[in-house]
Structure 1
Amino acid sequence: MILVTGSTGTVGRELVRRLPDGIPVRLMTRSPERVTTMTPAAETVGADFTDDGSLARALQGVRKVFLVTARVGADDDARFLRLAREAGVRHVVKLSAAAVADGAADDLITRWQRDNEELLRRSGMEWTMLRPRAFTSNSLSWAASVRSEGVVRALYGSSLNACVDPRDIAAVAVSALTGDGHEGRVHTLTGPEAISAVQQTAQLAAVLGQPLRFEELGPQEAEAALRRRWPAEIAEALMSSARRQRDGAKAAVADTVRAVTGRPARSFRTWAADHAAAFAPPAKAAEG
């Protein structure tokens, strides 16, 4: 039995779609009613990382886990890994972050991810780390301004990030969960090229067939926007991450997706074409 945590999330739902038929899988979520992607061999379980009892029930009979945690600074990984080991789990595939390998990255989010990786290494279970760059789907945060104004706004618009399609992360996760030889390995996951927000704006405009304008956010403006959405320490960590991107820390491209899955990583343009309806004005979205 495979347990997929974060089964309604960006990567989790794509992973479920790609699992081979017939593999028993349990989809863990705090809100079972939100599960829309199922397979004939799938079951859903309601559980919360803060509730030992619910986690123990979710882990019953499980041998492999796809682990995603999101509460920065919380002890969700420690609790889950303890209960997973007690339940007899053999192999955990963890969604981490590429910044973990960057010695210059010392923000709160990266330190938390490093600590969680170390917890898994010391857990006594087999492990595989997935370390993606930024998701191409992060550009969905531009959808409202693209629809209403034809504008993309971002900080450090010319800085490069080898962003990766969540579908490719999911495909690698499926290989790690169902194939051999992934134990004890770290998979750094990127797209096929490093791309800037300015370049993404141009490619998105070409896909939509409409002009788009890029507007550079200043650091103070960007930080203020982050602080409206996140606690101060998270906003600070995200600003630190943006500065490292500005300095070139996220431009390296890895060929891991091809090496693991046998096909190249999807480009941003491919992702944009597949999700164009999210950016189209209401009339165009309805026509499409």
Structure 2
Amino acid sequence: MILVTGATGVVGREVVRRLPSDLGVRVMVRDPGQAAEFAGSGVDVAVGDFGDAASLARAVDGVSAAFVVTVRIGADDDVRFVRAAQRAGVERVVKLSAAAVLDQGSVDLVTRWQRANEELLRVSGVEWTLLRPRAFMSNALGWASSVRGEGVVRALYGESACACVDPRDVAEVAARVLAQPGHAGRAYTLTGPEALTAADQARQLGQLLKAPLRFEELTRGAARAGWLRRYPAAVAEALLESAERQRAGVKTQVEDTVRVVTGRPPGSFREWARDHLEAFAPVRQEPGSVPAGS
């Protein structure tokens, strides 16, 4: 039995889709309502929370391998999971971390937390594999509203490049590592095939939409304000530090790991954008229709 946490997230959902059904797949979800997504799929559903030891114990019972995604920055969710895995005899844990742990000078809250979680797993006595992706291409969905409504992409340091990765490629690597032997004690840095700037991505989106998009550079203050509306202050500051590292050029290195593990090259941003173009396309009114709210 393979357990997937974060199964309704951008990577976890794709991991579940890619795992061979004959291995037995269980997902851990916090909300019972999320279980409906997996109805009829043959996937076992465990309702659980990293903060609830009893529910964790139920989730890992009978599990041989687990994919672990934690998102509460600074919390001890990884500690709780590793303890539960040790007690249950889980043989292998595949941990979603981040490429930032390798960046020299990266000491922000998020990166320190990820490094601590990696070290926790290394000394746990459980077989482990670390996945360290660069930024997800799907982060571009944060522009969807402004692209649809204004034809604008706004970002901080729009001419700084990052070798962002398709989260579907991360999921494919995770599924193979979970299902196949030979990955114990390895840390895989995962990137896309090239380093792109936000301005590059805006140009490619515009080409696919057949409508040029305007790029607008955000100030640090505007970027901070936007992140503070979504995240705690310490996380917003960590994101600003991350942007500064990208501006310094530390996120441009392209790795061949996706091809080595999966046997195929990583997907490009253009391919990802083409597959998600509906999210960016303006809503078209049918001829003669009355606009909503009229």
In which range does the TM-score fall when normalised by the shorter chain? Answer: over 0.9
1:207 deviation in Å? Answer: 0.9
Superposed CA offset, 1:101-132 (max 9, x none): 11210000000000000000111100000000
- Once the two structures are TM-superposed, the CA of residue 258 in structure 1 deviates from its matched residue by 0.3
**Aligned twin of 1:4:** 4
Q: Which residue of 1 aligns with 2:162?
A: 161
Residue matched to 1:34? 34
* Aligned 8 A contact 1:16 1:39 in 2: no
2:125 paired residue number: 124
Cα separation, 2, equivalents of 1:200 and 1:39: 38
Task: Look up the equivalent residue of 2:17 and give its one-letter code.
Answer: R
Match of 2:19 in 1: 19
Is 1:263 the counterpart of 2:264? The answer is yes
SS state of the match for residue 239, structure 1? helix
Structure 1 segments of 4+ aligned residues over 3 angstroms from their partners: 37-41
Q: Take 2:285 and 2:138, find their aligned partners in 1: how far apart are those partners? A: 21
Structure 2 stretches lacking a partner, 5+ long: 287-294
Partner of 1:276 in structure 2? Answer: 277
Aligned length: 285
CA shift, 1:20, in A, is: 1.6
Q: Could you report, residue by residue, the CA deviation over 1:152-198 in whole angstroms, capped at 9, with x for unpaired residues?
A: 00000000000000100000001100111100000100000000000
1:180 corresponds in structure 2 to 181
Q: By how many angstroms is 1:40 displaced? A: 4.4
Percent sequence identity over aligned pairs: 60
Letter aligned with residue 146 of structure 2: S
Question: 1:61 aligned to 2:62?
Answer: yes
Moved more, 263-272 or 19-28: 19-28
Question: Shift of the alpha carbon at 1:209?
Answer: 1.1
Shift in alpha-carbon separation, 1:39–1:120, aligned structure 2, 3 A: farther
Equivalence for 1:151: 152
The equivalent residue for 2:111 is 110
Give a deviation string over 1:7-40, Cα, whole Å, max 9, x none.
0001000011111231201010102322425674
Where 1:22 maps in the other structure, the secondary structure is helix
Q: 2:4 corresponds to which letter in structure 1?
A: V
Q: For residue 228 of structure 1, report the CA deviation from its aligned partner.
A: 1.8
Q: Deviations over 1:62-115 (max 9, x none)?
A: 110000000000000001100111001010000000001112100000000000
Distance in 1 of aligned mates of 2:26 and 2:38: 12
Distance in 1, matches of 2:7 and 2:163, equals 25
Note if 1:208 corresponds to 2:212. no
CA distance in 2 between partners of 1:257 and 1:66 (Å): 17
Residue 101 of structure 2 is aligned to residue 100 of structure 1: yes
Q: CA RMSD in A?
A: 1.3
Q: 1:284: how far off? A: 7.9
Quote the Cα distance in structure 1 between the aligned partners of 2:38 and 2:129.
Answer: 24
Task: Determine the structure 1 residue equivalent to 2:254.
Answer: 253
SS of 2:215's partner is strand
3-state SS of paired residue (2:93):
strand
Structure 2 CA distance for partners of 1:248 and 1:137, relative to 1, 3 Å: same
Distance (Å, rounded) in 2 between the aligned partners of 1:106 and 1:276: 36
Confirm or deny: 8 A CA contact 1:16 1:38 kept in the other structure: no
Deviation at 1:41, TM superposition (A): 3.8
Task: Confirm or deny: 8 A CA contact 1:154 1:217 kept in the other structure.
Answer: yes
Amino acid at match of 2:66: V
